[in-house]
Amino acid sequence: MSLPRVVTVAPGSPAACAGIEPGDEILTVSGEPLRDVIEYRVRTDEAEVSLELRRGGIDFDVEVRKAAGEPLGLEIDAAVFDRVRTCDNHCEFCFIYQLPPGLRKSLYVKDDDYRLSFLYGNFTTLTRFTEADLERVLTEGLGPLYVSIHATDPEVRSDLLHNRRGATSLRWLRALLDGGITVHGQVVVCPGVNDGAVLEDTLCGIADRFADLASVAVVPLGVSRYSTASRMRPHTMEEAVDVVDIVEAWQQRFLGLSGRLVVHAADEYYLLAGRPFPELDPEAAALHEDGIGMAATFAAEFTGRAPVVTGTKAGFFAWVDGAPAAGYRAPRAAPAAGRSAGLHIGPRPDAPVGILTGSYGAEVLRPLVASTGRPDVRVIPVENQFFGGNIGVTGLLVGADLARVLAAEPEGHRYLLPDVCLSEGRFLDGTGPEDLPRPVEVLPTDGVALRRALGTLGTARRGVDVEEVRV
């Protein structure tokens, strides 16, 4: 069991006034060791907090007095201190198995921990969930949680997870819902395995047993060039059309049953199927990390129909690098100097603009940029050669691919880069924006930030509809 270590102390905070310093290790709070940051938050919520700390090998006690509910003003280095509960499934579509060798070790951690589901929105299969876990979740109200379903047929689910416990672990999903916990579900669709009739059966099973799920995201598998699973392959256009048709048919059934759509297909399916994106649905707001509703939200933000940022965009692997220990819902610390969001380096403000994005993002951005009537602004799609396969999301762009594309672009232009592909200022391949051959401006990954960067508050055509944003 590791000890939580203080990373930063806010000036003037209760912790600073009590003399707590960065580097201090927390032995106990209120006389008890901590298992995770959830316990830390609960125990430090009181008006009087007793901490046992270690500094330079010397243990000492600190008493902090503050208002009840006031944060201590600390940032600690991890979310879990008693060891992350790793995943013992062997899903063929798992992206961890499809990573190239040589990346930083934290990226290869494959978790199945309900605490990380609560804190960061990670999906758990519940195959390692226990009665003690259920008691804690219900007692402390640890929701929402995010559960990987993939199939409701026990044999199919067990086959997909390559774990016989997959056949029975959805009983915990029913127990969580019965306990009043909000749960979002996910179905990763693998062509020829759990699509078609199996997907129909899964959505039928959800309607029959788990209709009180807050939502169900239906997403396509990603297949990198490092995949060794012979059954796993990208969808064809016809298969994508079939998935969209199935999901939209079940949306109508759920609407009749519960008055909610419940199930949603990822934007990627609409791109693959050549279909217009569905209208912005508030129910899909919690599903942005699954790539659902992101295109519609971005369009609404960019055109001014959504004047504030409406979605969480934490990016891939956000829990292992660059995320606050308190979870993705917590405010994020300011980036390191030289990598701050919106940083402007080099070119003059009126220089031509190139917007860097993944191949899928380019399909969304092109009609929006065209709507501004700005010939000086162009979209620069970056093919993901690092991962290869069908990987086209912006969040998985790496420095090597960006450098390759930027090297062929002219000097003196402004290049805008979304921050979703960065964690603590680093790309997944370990490089940073400072390693690129052209200066870049790192922007928050939302339409409002892009609109402001382009200065199009008054020039964007307000009438552009989400239906126009298509392949």
φ, ψ dihedrals at 172, nearest 5°: -70, -30
φ, ψ dihedrals at 107, nearest 5°: -70, -20
Output the pLDDT for position 464. 40
Whole-angstrom Cα distance, residue 454 to residue 434? 22
Between 30-34, 79-83, 428-432, the lowest mean confidence (pLDDT) is in 79-83
**Buried/exposed 252-268: b ≥16 CB within 10 Å, e otherwise:** eebeeeeebbbbbbbbb
Whole-angstrom Cα distance, residue 347 to residue 125? 48
Q: Which amino acid is residue 80, in one-letter code?
A: V
Confidence of residue 280 (pLDDT cuts 50, 70, 90): confident
CATH number assigned to the domain with residue range 95-292, chosen from the 4 options 3.20.20, 1.10.10, 2.30.30, 2.40.30: 3.20.20
Whole-angstrom Cα distance, residue 108 to residue 98? 10
Give the number of other Cβ atoms within 10 Å of residue 464's Cβ: 20
Mean pLDDT estimate for the chain: 88
Whole-angstrom Cα distance, residue 335 to residue 319? 16
φ, ψ dihedrals at 368, nearest 5°: -70, -45
Between 19-28, 56-65, 224-233, 297-306, the lowest mean confidence (pLDDT) is in 297-306
**Residue 185 in 3-state DSSP?**
strand
Output the pLDDT for position 289. 77
* H runs (alpha helix) in 162-234: 171-178, 196-209
Whole-angstrom Cα distance, residue 227 to residue 233? 9
What's the pLDDT tens digit per position in 282-326?
A: 777 778 778 899 999 999 999 988 766 665 555 544 444 444 454
φ, ψ dihedrals at 99, nearest 5°: -85, 145
In contact, 396 and 420? CB cutoff 8 Å:
no
Environment class of residue 443 by beta-carbon count within 10 Å: exposed (0-12), middle (13-18) or buried (19+)?
buried
pTM: 0.86
Q: Which fold has domain 6-76?
A: Pdz3 Domain (2.30.42)
- Residues 6+ away with beta carbon under 8 Å from 138: 176, 179, 180, 181
